Amino acid sequence: MNAMATVFRRADRSAPESRGDRETGGSLPVLLTVDEAAALLRTSRRAIYAMIERRQLPGVTRIRRRVLLRADDLLHWLDQKRASSPQE
């Protein structure tokens, strides 16, 4: 099973009243693994780690050796990075 399928499978088990579901539309868990973030951004694990090292990604949380990314921070950052359409 690929990482993005894992993201959605985990979201199905989460409680709908949780904070993360309200902010991300109920499709992502509050914290993403590097694999899940890579699938979301359609890039590699290596690219995610490089962006973390260069401090280019928001919402990075380290718990001992584990690296997690806050889904709402990542989605907000991604929304800010998008190019404006001609109608805007």
Q: How far is CA 85 from CA 40, 82, 88, in A?
A: 22, 9, 6
Establish if 70 belongs to a structural domain.
yes
* Of 1 and 37, more confident: 37
User: Nearest 5°: CA angle at 56, between 62 and 1?
Assistant: 65
Establish if 88 belongs to a structural domain.
no
Phi first, then psi: give them for residue 50, nearest 5 degrees.
-65, -40
pTM metric for this prediction: 0.65
Establish if 87 belongs to a structural domain.
no
* Of 43 and 10, more confident: 43
Establish if 32 belongs to a structural domain.
yes
Q: What is the pLDDT of residue 85?
A: 75
Establish if 31 belongs to a structural domain.
yes
Our measurement of the distance from residue 16's CA atom to the centroid of its chain's CA atoms, rounded to an integer in Å, reads: 18
pLDDT higher than 50, residue 15: no
Establish if 30 belongs to a structural domain.
yes
Domain count, the chain: 1
Residues 37-79: pLDDT tens digits?
Answer: 999 999 999 999 999 999 999 999 999 999 999 999 999 999 9
User: Which structural domain, as residue segments, surrounds residue 74?
Assistant: 3-81
